[in-house]
């Protein structure tokens, strides 16, 4: 029987320095992967996770609102995204009014969700423009919609200058948005 000798291969003889270099390289890869994670605060404000794909909040500029603006069109004055019903998908709350040249046109506050098609759709009206209110501020936080509403104590008050103010919130409860006043209406 004949024996053959294999060549002496340097990479087959592992030494402690080889294992130290391998461990250092692996630690660098793990550290780099940890630094490349997305910022959860930045992504949570505009998207929500459902499964593995991020979903953007509905775009309020793509909705036809039930406003009687004639030929002037409407303006989305404010918008606030957030998950209002706890399903993991963001809705958008939009304050919208007619694009009037002057004065304080009444606003509507609408909740938008993704429609079955490409365009978002209105699923709730929180403030109807027929109430003749305007919106000072609008926000969504932890599933609660907050707004400051301005109105008029009588028909004698000029429409440029609301004289009443009310801070209100809405929260999804039992299949509907429930409105709560944060303070009694006051004169502005």
Whether the CB-CB separation of 82 and 94 falls below 8 Å is answered with no
Instruction: List for the chain the helix, strand, coil content (%; round to 5).
Output: 20, 40, 40
Q: Are residues 78 and 105 in the same domain?
A: yes
Domain range for residue 169? 57-187
What the block records as the tokens of 82 is: 């957030």
Q: For the chain, how many structural domains are there in total?
A: 2
Based on the domain organization, do 38 and 61 belong to the same domain? no
**Whether 119 and 152 share a structural domain:** yes
Residue at 5 is within a domain: no
pLDDT band at 159 (very low <50, low <70, confident <90, very high): confident
Residue 130 and residue 77 share a domain:
yes
Asked if the structure places residue 9 within a domain, the reply is no
Report the mean per-residue pLDDT for the chain.
Answer: 79
Examine the domain organization and report whether 129 and 41 are in the same domain: no
pLDDT, position 93: 97
Co-location of 156 and 86 in the same domain: yes
Residues 142 and 79: their CA atoms lie apart, in Å, by 16
Confirm whether 4 is domain-assigned. no
Q: Using alpha carbons only, what angle is made at residue 104 by residues 103 and 109, rounded to the nearest 5 degrees?
A: 155
Of 3-17, 54-68, 160-174, the poorest mean pLDDT is in 3-17
Task: Tell me: pLDDT of 50 over 60.
Answer: no
Model-level pTM?
A: 0.68
Residue 151 lies in a domain: yes
Closest CA to 59 of 119, 139, 3: 119
């Amino acid at each position: 029987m004949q024996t053959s000798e294999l060549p002496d291969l340097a990479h087959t003889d592992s030494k402690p320095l080889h294992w130290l270099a391998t461990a250092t390289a692996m630690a660098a890869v793990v550290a780099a992967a940890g630094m490349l994670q997305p910022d959860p605060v930045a992504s949570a404000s505009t998207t929500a996770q459902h499964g593995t794909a991020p979903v953007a909040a509905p775009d309020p500029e793509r909705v036809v609102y039930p406003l009687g603006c004639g030929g002037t069109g409407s303006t989305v004055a404010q918008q606030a995204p957030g998950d209002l019903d706890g399903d993991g998908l963001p809705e958008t709350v939009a304050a919208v009014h007619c694009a009037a040249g002057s004065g304080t046109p009444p606003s509507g506050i609408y909740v938008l969700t993704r429609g079955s098609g490409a365009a978002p759709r209105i699923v709730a009206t929180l403030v109807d423009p027929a109430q003749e209110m305007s919106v000072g501020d609008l926000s969504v936080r932890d599933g609660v919609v907050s707004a400051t509403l301005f109105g008029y104590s009588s028909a004698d008050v000029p429409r440029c200058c609301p004289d009443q103010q009310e801070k209100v919130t809405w929260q999804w409860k039992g299949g509907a948005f429930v409105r709560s006043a944060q303070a009694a209406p006051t004169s502005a």
